[in-house]
Structure 1
Amino acid sequence: MSSNLTIKKYSRILARPEIPYYLIIWSTVFLSALGLTMVLSSSTVTSLQENGNAYAIFMRQFFFLGLGSFAFYWAFKVQGAVWPRIARYALSISIVILLLPFVPFLGKNVKGNRNWIEIAGFTLQPSEIAKFLLILWCALQLRRIGEYAGKKSPFRLIAPGFTVVEVLILFERDLGTALLVLIIFIGILFISGAPMKHFIGIGVCAVVIGSAFVLSSNYRVNRFAALFDPFDEKYYKFSGWQPAHSIMGLASGGLWGSGLGASKQKWANLAEAHTDFIFSVIGEELGLLGTVLVLVLYAALIYSILRVALKTKDDFSRYATAGIACWFIAQVTINIGSVTSLLPVIGVTLPLISYGGSSLLANLIAIGYVLGVARRTPEISEGIKLSRMRKSSQ
């Protein structure tokens, strides 16, 4: 009987309109803090080898977290009318910044991908910002569906912009980001109520183009082959090395983990331990409980973003917020799928946790935008006021 009363009590709390607002804040704070801690733990060996300073990578991440916090606050506080104005030029800005890596004195090749630029000693990835800008542009286009009175489908409204961005990313040879952008596009189309024939067409094109890119490179073919058994002698020392040692790290962590800073795999065994494979280091050092905590925090964040999307009455805000939810769902799923060898390794970071200034900055701006939408939604805003009144009266 008491357990039923407890369930009803917590269900009433979760039903409060202001709960998504607070869940977004606290899940973001905890994920960012955990990310900074794990970047410090997982990057010391690499940082010492590459920079002669064990804390260089950590300090860069700390700098971008501070910069991202200011951007987060701005995105949260800025007036809602600013975002549609930004969205009007978002596609043009995306195209310009995606062309920057092809500028000789700016562009930088990293492991065969030309998707980076270097400015004042900092390496940035323009495609991270382009993802958020593309979501804003798609939201603006879809808000105009009513104006066309059925003359234009959601697909025809946003497919041209998506195609241009996707082609530029593929020219940079960044298949991971290209896949993410495709999933975001599909998610936004689904939310807009596009007919099934469009999804079938997109799926067929994606399989054909993706297969062509994979088959054109022996390295990518071997990555797919290693997916089924990374410990196979044919792949272990080559394309199977990363997924194999990632699994070793996760398996050796047990329930409680080996302790913060005690990872063995980060000692030159697991490449990209502080970026793409940081979830494996979390599993090794913090154990199963640490990985479950990360998943719970992501679930709370994504659930809350979707709740905000459902609550808002503004079409632009709804599409943009839902697009951001699709972005986080796709990126978390692909990263953890790669780390656990359920998906091929395609170089996708873990939002808010992995090392990467441009990724962290884009994530925090997007979450700040969602919080701003929540603050401007009357039902949520009223709930926040009532919550503060309850606290002040206690």
Structure 2
Amino acid sequence: MSISQPTRRPRQSQQRTSAPKKRTAARQSASARAPRTRFGMWLQRPLASFHLVVTIATLLTALGLVMVLSASSVESYADGGSAYTLFTQQAIFSVLGAGLFYVALRTPIRVLRKLSFPAFVLSVITLVLVLIPGIGVEAQGGRRWFELAGVSVQPSEIAKITLAVWGAHLLASRQTEHASLKDIVVPLVPAGLIVCFLVVLEPNLSTTIALGIILAALLWFGGLPARLFGAIMASGALAAIVLAMSAGYRSARIQAFMNPGADPQGIGYQARQATYSLADGGIFGRGLGQSRAKWSYLPNSHNDFIFAIIGEELGFVGCAVVIGLFALFAYTGIRIAMRSADPFLKLLASTATTWIVAQAFINIGYVVGLMPVTGLQLPLVSAGGSSLAITLLMFGIIANAARHEPEAIAALHSGQDGRFSKLLRLPKPESYSPEKAKAVRADAARRAAVRAAREQQARGGSSYGGRTMYPRDDRRQGREQSLRRDQMTPHPRGERGFRR
């Protein structure tokens, strides 16, 4: 007893002291996970992703309008006597894009998925129509636009968003059905290649590159095996090289990138002037509206090379702000994709984010001289009405996906709408339910089967065993069934088995 009693007391004291240590460790781990900055605390709010998307879209659009006015004023005045011509067009399309943003924000996800395939088919039809002389408008060496009531519309920009939405819907449906690898690749890859082929015929290599980025993002985030994805990417890169070297102006751009000093006054003039504009800006820039390059020194300064004007007028600080906004958008888009419970929204948010960010950094890359000139515009900043409106529509869809995060849905249904949601009178988002989605797919399959049976009956046949049976086939089927019954009758002697 004298030995056992002292040995029990330290154990009890250890048990008493272990609980406070565990509580202290839990507090330390919780404090380590808790955000330490105000911005980190703000990111923990349920609607932080939604507000980030709206803020980024607003800032980039406002910056784009200001820079388009500054970069295009000289050229507009020289052409038509007014410095506000291109700016007015850009402002009109920004208002149209804001309306599309609002429509996308209010559209239910089920409606968006239901309309995805018809919209994709319609965009393919417009890509065919724009190639027909007399329907499509030819300008700048390509037939890429429709002229509607004095407004130019580029159908290839519409094809970007329809491919992204329909592709995400298709792959999300195949993922829930545990489809095979063939069902993942077909029909998405053939449809994407058809769209790319039609855009190449315009010709428009820059939009083809954007469509290729969208298709690659869909396949990657859709779960395509890495080996097959690498093979498809290698084939796409080889096709891009062939297309780049097939036309004279494309191959000249590659040669100018490989040897910038070979033709400084010819094909290398634009890239060289962009470099001079960036160098002239310095750290803080020459001041808003004080660019020298826009005085006919830098071609397309308001469009493809507007980032050079930003660097000249706003300096390194302005360029860093633009890059920072796109980097913040990349973080926000991936955050929305990771937080979404709906597979469709996961695929759509990640694909759209990859497309917009990749297009932005390709544009910035060739302006600063790190890549060959491709003609891709800087999203929401470069002049281009169709591109601006369609990109704002895509931002609206991403903002809609942000409101469908599980925490955002719970907050909105509990009355935490916020001033912005109340001002716009946005509807309450519906929570995603796998069982409900499965029931909807089963109901759609049942309706399709009933519709097919009615069509067969209208043609004069009936359905039997998954095949179309006509009256003569029905009689033959009845004779075969009676013959099998005769062959399967018991043996007359009562033996076990059946007569063969």
Task: Give the TM-score normalised by structure 2.
Answer: 0.73
Comparing 62-71 with 206-215, which one deviates more in the overlay?
A: 206-215
Larger displacement relative to structure 2 (313-322 or 376-385): 376-385
CA offset at residue 212 of structure 1? 2.3
**Structure 1 unaligned runs (5+)?**
390-394
Q: For 2:296 and 2:38, locate their aligned partners in 1 and report how far apart those are by CA, in whole Å.
A: 50
**Conserved? CA contact 2:181–2:224, under 8 Å:** no
Secondary structure (helix, strand or coil) at the match of 1:303 reads helix
Question: Does 1:93 find its partner at 2:125?
Answer: no
Superposition pairs of residues 77-226 of structure 1, within 5 angstroms: 77-145=106-174, 146-147=176-177, 149-150=179-180, 152-226=182-256
- The corresponding residue for 2:62 is 33
Three-state SS of the structure 2 residue aligned to 1:227 is helix
2:358 corresponds in structure 1 to 330
Give the match's secondary structure for 2:130.
helix
Give the alignment of 1:1-394 within 5 angstroms.
7-145=36-174, 146-147=176-177, 149-150=179-180, 152-230=182-260, 232=261, 234-383=262-411, 386=416, 388=418
User: What is the letter of the counterpart of residue 281 of structure 1?
Assistant: I
**Which amino acid counterpart does residue 158 of structure 1 have in structure 2?**
L
The farther-off stretch of 45-54 and 197-206 is: 197-206
Asked whether the equivalents of residues 157 and 386 of structure 2 are also in contact (C-alpha less than 8 Å), the reply is yes
Give me the CA root mean square deviation. 2.1
Query: What does the per-residue CA deviation read over 1:267-302, in whole Å, with 9 as the maximum and x for residues that have no partner?
Result: 111111111111110000000000101111111222
Return the alpha-carbon distance in structure 2 between the equivalents of residues 218 and 105 of structure 1.
26
Deviations 1:215-238, CA, capped at 9 Å, x for gaps: 2223222211211343x1x32111
Name the CA distance, whole Å, in 2 between partners of 1:156 and 1:79: 27
Provide, for residues 104-152 of structure 1, a one-character-per-residue CA deviation record: whole Å limited to 9, x for no partner. Answer: 2231223322222222222221111110000011011102213254363
Cα distance in 2, alignment partners of residues 245 and 75 from structure 1: 40
Which residue in the other structure is 1:392 paired with?
A: none
SS of residue paired to 2:145: strand
For residues 356-394 of structure 1, give each alpha carbon's deviation from its aligned partner in whole angstroms, at most 9, with x where no partner exists. Answer: 1100110111111111122233312445655849xxxxx
Alignment length (residue pairs): 384
The 8 Å contact of residues 140 and 316 in structure 1, kept in 2 or not, is answered as yes
Q: Does structure 2 conserve the Cα–Cα contact (< 8 Å) formed by 1:24 and 1:300?
A: no
CA deviations 1:7-53 (Å, max 9, x no partner) are 45543333434221111111111111110000000001111223232
Give the match's secondary structure for 1:54.
Answer: coil
After TM superposition, the score normalised by the length of structure 1 is 0.92
**1:56-93 Cα distance to aligned partner (Å, 9 max, x none):** 10001111111111111111012222101111213211
- Superposed displacement of residue 167, structure 1: 0.9
Question: 1:178-205 deviations in whole A, cap 9, x for unaligned?
Answer: 1111111111111111012322322332
> Aligned equivalents of 2:353 and 2:398: distance in 1?
10
Conserved? CA contact 2:291–2:312, under 8 Å: yes
Structure 2 unpaired stretches of 5+: 1-32, 420-500
How far, CA to CA, are the matches of 1:188 and 1:174 in structure 2? 22
Instruction: Return the alpha-carbon distance in structure 1 between the equivalents of residues 148 and 35 of structure 2.
Output: 55
**Larger Cα-atom Rg:** 2
> In the alignment, residue 178 of structure 1 is paired with which amino acid?
T
